[in-house]
Chain A
Amino acid sequence: MWTKLANPGFFMRWSGRLLPWFAGATVLVFATGLYMSFFMAPPDYQQGETIRIMYIHVPSAWMALFLYTMMSISAIGTLVWRHPLADVSQKAAAPLGAAFTLVCLITGALWGKPMWGTYWVWDARLTSVLVLFLVYAGIMALWRAIDDPGRAARAVSILTLVGALNLPIIRFSVDWWNTLHQPASVFRMDGPTIYPAMLYPLLVMGLAFALLAITMHAYAMRTELMRRRIRTLNILEAERLDSRAAA
């Protein structure tokens, strides 16, 4: 089964069929989530209307971590099994992860100013998320620095796995250190502590962000496969011209 799924042709065929459905679902779930966030969710008793920022800040943070986790799994797929789509997936996910991390940082700063009185503070959660953004930027730079996709994939995979050490730090920073950022309130061992009228819009927005990330990721993977096909055709053409000149 893995061999069949590892086939780029199979991926191109199925992603081409499924992408329009995913794009449609993303639009629908986003519209529902935004309606719930703005018209059904009440303002917070302490934070007032600024709670509306939570509906994009928190799902952005989830996607930043989700995409990095996926990249780490793909990195193992590249280094251990040499799965032909693993490095394509890694390369396509990096800009997306960086974009969601940047959204998380900016919306966090814009939420922090009215609530904490400052846009930024060097606390463990904020700093570790900034480090995640820098790791994403480093990974993107490394992809560009090495011309050969195979060599680039191996180097990037190692960097990705080293960067994965930051994931538990981000997750548990609010428990391990005394931070200005609040502790986890959705994914907790004893269940969510958010009022259901705010939790449900947040979960719907989380689903919308996940659908958006999956759609954009599959689309970017298709583009990367096309880029590699062009590279192969260019090499074949150069070899053909070389052999003709030699003869």
Chain B
Amino acid sequence: MFDQYAPFIIGSYAAFVAIIGGLGLYLLIDQRIQRRQLAEHETRRPQRKQDQ
């Protein structure tokens, strides 16, 4: 499809998917970790009078 330039074109799009996809995956995992830690804090936190 891309004649003799196929490795360069496919390589470019693969680099884009690897770098941006990798960063996206990292962001998803990072937020999941923060959410879990925040939920743990919320359950551990002493209840205020207005919450009771």
Residues in A lying within 8 Å of B, measured CB to CB: 48-50, 52-53, 56-57, 60, 95-96, 99-100, 102-103, 106-107, 110-111, 113-114, 212, 216, 219-220, 222-223, 226-227, 229-230, 233-234, 237
Contact = CB atoms under 8 A, between A and B. Distances in A.
A49 B16 contact: no
A224 B28 CA distance: 12
A223 B12 contact: no
Interface in B31-52: 31, 34-35, 37-38, 41, 44-45
A216 B27 CA distance: 8
B45 A53 contact: no
Contacts of A230: 34, 37-38, 41
Contact of B12 (A102, A107, A219, A229): A107
A229 B38 contact: yes
A106 B30 CA distance: 26
Contact of B15 (A49, A110, A114, A229): A110
A52 B20 contact: no
Chain B interface residue bracket vs A: 20 to 34
Contact of B8 (A53, A220, A229): A53
Main secondary structure on A side of the interface with B:
helix
B2 A52 contact: yes
Given A56-B13, A107-B16, A110-B15, A223 B5 contact: no
19 contacts: A49-B9, A52-B9, A53-B12, A56-B13, A57-B12, A60-B16, A96-B23, A99-B19, A100-B20, A102-B19, A106-B12, A107-B12, A107-B15, A110-B9, A114-B5, A114-B8, A212-B20, A219-B27, A234-B41
B8 A103 contact: no
B47 to A, nearest CB: 14
What 8 pairs between A and B have smallest CB-CB spacing? Answer: A226-B34, A107-B12, A223-B31, A49-B2, A106-B15, A233-B41, A53-B12, A110-B8
